[in-house]
Structure 1
Amino acid sequence: MANRWLANYINASNGGFIYQDNVTRIAQETFSDRAGNCLSLVLLTAALAEVLDVNVEFQEVEVPPVWGKHGNFYLVNGHINLRLIPRETSDTYLVSKDAIQIDFLPERSMRGYATKRIDKTTVMAMFFNNIAAESLVDGKYNLAYAYIKQSLLLKPEFVSALNTLAILYRHKGLDSDAETVYKLALSQSSEDLTTLYNYAVLLSSQQRLDEWAEVHKTLELARIRNPYYYYDMAQQAYFDREYQTALTWYKRAVEKANYRHEFYFGLSQVYWATGDERKAQLNLEKALALTEDKMNKRRYQSKLHAMKNH
């Protein structure tokens, strides 16, 4: 089947293509260099899928923001992947109708995060915004502006491109223009963490401390409403063997989202580490009941069997 053949050809999980962060390439360059970031891989796979008559679904993965410093700029890394879907025709019988996800990251590491379907126009707006940010880091400001403009022509309400434009304005000393764009971006998405963070930097540089405090209040509220904030804190505490602290954070994550299997699995691990075998088993049973993924089910069933026979 064409979609499976293409997935095997891309072979991302086995080193077919090398992950290089902050390097966005067109499909031809990714094909030649066998390297690029997640968006580069998506563009290449989509181009090949079009030739092979394979349908694709683009997905934005709602991972927590990951900040990186490049030169004088702080950039936030998002994540995108796609699914290859076999195309049905009147004269074809499909042995398997399963879509295949293409991602540099293994599928098991993506299971805890929601995905959002996006269209091709959004993907292209992301592409132009990415290379605008990379041009900005390289000091190619006119080129960055041209790419931002192209991104916004495709998707005028694209918050990420508005944020990049505001950063460019700030870097060129156009603080008033930057603030106008930040406010426009926030009118589209009032709790966009990247925009709020950069707007706070602008307010701080102008000593507008009351307004800065209000923005930081919104940032903090957005952070503590996210159950994965507590989950990440719990995970770190668990790995540091600070089990009581981990227990507190896992419980808070469950309070925010009692439908996430990984939160209960985390609780199970902590209870087992502290010798409370009954609660460890109960929480693992909850994790098993909540997951729909076959691999997770096998994993939890195996651990549960080991607990009961301990």
Structure 2
Amino acid sequence: MWRIVLMLLVAALTGCQQTPANQMLRSADDLLQNQAFMPVETAIETREQIFKLPEDLVLKARQEILAYSDPRERSLALLKFIFREQTDPLQYVNNATLTALETYEQREANCLSLTILSYSLARSLGFRAQFQDVQIPEYWITRNGTSVLNGHVNLVVTPPYMQTLTKTFISASHNFLIDFERAGGSRERLPVRKINEADIVALFYNNKAADAMLTQQFDLAYRYLQEAAAVAPTVAATWNNLAVLYRQRSMPEAAELAYLQSLALEPDHPNTMANLAILYDLLGRHADSVQLSDKVQQTRLRNPYYFVMQGNEALSQQRFTDAEIAFHRSIRLEPKMPEALFGLARVAILQHDYAAATGYLQRARLHAAPGADRRLYDHKIEMLNAVAQAD
């Protein structure tokens, strides 16, 4: 899954002002602008609906998984039940934010929804389950012509405590990480932060709000963000997204307060600072804008994911030289970056340099996570060899 945070006027994003020292948090009531938006008829998913699974599914899971008494075997049985790779595998779709039930029925969703499904199944079987927010540096994708900031969550599950005659406790080795991200092994080295169920609900609402904004449904987007603020007011993404919405509705003063709230919760976040810099520039506060922009630019120059994003953007515009430069800058910062190596392979393929492309793919495979990620690269290399022979 990916948490998404809308970015405003991406082409202009090159920096931002210094965050005001000791910025105080405001109450949600001070930041919400209910009078500026119309009520919506669309029903907002409740917390219970987001996690709820049908009883027949839970019963089936219990029959297949709780038959195992060994903690490790029970955990493996849970993973096999969730993924079902050989029969009806779950598919990752970046822009599909669904409830647990919808994800199970449709068999495809983004990583947030896939993680919610896994969490609901694990909890229904007595497993301990802990959400984790993976601290990915700033990284965007483009959807419907708008750049969207990606985030990522995963789940650590532990089988139910099973008391034996020797009263042995389950060790940490029985913990299993459930992660639906296929971007490569570089993400495994990133720090994580434990988050709770309320945070996940707020991120779910944020994704729904972002989807609504992309389709110009501003009242619906506000309704989702209003709900996110109610369930978990300390999630910084909510206030950043709300500020973007206010900016789109020509409410600059409200947007500034929301941006500052987001920065008070998550200081020096480059995306939020960049958005605030754009707002200050539009308001004629050019000195503040330049100060923030310089700070953001320095942060981005240390972020290998930023250059992967730049490379992908250049590649989409067939600016091959610019793409190569960006991907190589990413690799200089992080030599074991499969995403950048894969980007260089794509550049080589488009230039019909299949030998170079194979070399980059082999290096990307080497640094990718074992298992499905490496098998994916094996498949790409096989396909590339077939194309090279036919060319």
Q: State the 1:228 CA deviation.
A: 6.7
Q: State the 1:221 CA deviation.
A: 2.7
For residues 138 and 186 of structure 1, the distance between their equivalents in structure 2, rounded to whole angstroms, comes to 27
**Counterpart for residue 129 of structure 1:** 206
**Counterpart for residue 301 of structure 1:** none
**Counterpart for residue 267 of structure 1:** none
User: What amino acid is aligned across from residue 26 of structure 1 in structure 2?
Assistant: T
Structure 1 counterpart SS, 2:131: strand
**Bigger mean CA offset, 86-95 vs 148-157:** 86-95
User: What amino acid is aligned across from residue 42 of structure 1 in structure 2?
Assistant: T
Q: State the 1:20 CA deviation.
A: 0.7
Q: Is there any run of 5+ residues in structure 1 with no aligned partner, and where?
A: 234-239, 255-260, 264-293, 296-310
Structure 2 counterpart SS, 1:63: coil
**Counterpart for residue 218 of structure 1:** 295
**Counterpart for residue 16 of structure 1:** 89
How many residue pairs are counted as aligned between the two chains? 257
**Counterpart for residue 75 of structure 1:** 148
Q: State the 1:26 CA deviation.
A: 0.5
Equivalent runs, 1:106-121 vs 2, <5 Å: 106=182, 108-121=185-198
**Counterpart for residue 251 of structure 2:** 174
**Counterpart for residue 136 of structure 2:** 63
Aligned pair partner of 1:102 in 159, 165, 178: 178
CA contact (8 A) 2:131 2:153 kept: yes
Structure 1 counterpart SS, 2:137: strand
**Counterpart for residue 209 of structure 1:** 286
For residues 3 and 85 of structure 1, the distance between their equivalents in structure 2, rounded to whole angstroms, comes to 7
Q: Which has the higher contact order (CA 8 A, sep 6+)?
A: 2
Q: State the 1:188 CA deviation.
A: 2.1
CA contact (8 A) 1:24 1:40 kept: yes
**Counterpart for residue 199 of structure 1:** 276
CA contact (8 A) 1:12 1:102 kept: no
**Cα 1:232/1:212, change in 2 over 3 Å:** closer
CA contact (8 A) 1:13 1:103 kept: no
**Superposed CA offset, 1:16-54 (max 9, x none):** 111111221001110000000000101101111121111
TM-score of the two chains, using structure 1 as the length reference: 0.70
**Cα 1:25/1:230, change in 2 over 3 Å:** closer
**Counterpart for residue 305 of structure 1:** none
Q: Is there any run of 5+ residues in structure 2 with no aligned partner, and where?
A: 1-72, 311-320, 338-368, 371-391
Sequence identity of aligned pairs in percent? 27
**Cα 1:232/1:111, change in 2 over 3 Å:** farther
CA contact (8 A) 1:132 1:145 kept: yes
**Superposed CA offset, 1:74-116 (max 9, x none):** 3201111112211213259769942222122357443232222
**Bigger mean CA offset, 134-143 vs 32-41:** 134-143
TM-score of the two chains, using structure 2 as the length reference: 0.57
For residues 142 and 111 of structure 2, the distance between their equivalents in structure 1, rounded to whole angstroms, comes to 18
**Cα 1:128/1:249, change in 2 over 3 Å:** closer
For residues 229 and 33 of structure 1, the distance between their equivalents in structure 2, rounded to whole angstroms, comes to 33
For residues 67 and 221 of structure 1, the distance between their equivalents in structure 2, rounded to whole angstroms, comes to 17
Which has the larger share of helix? 1
CA contact (8 A) 2:186 2:336 kept: no
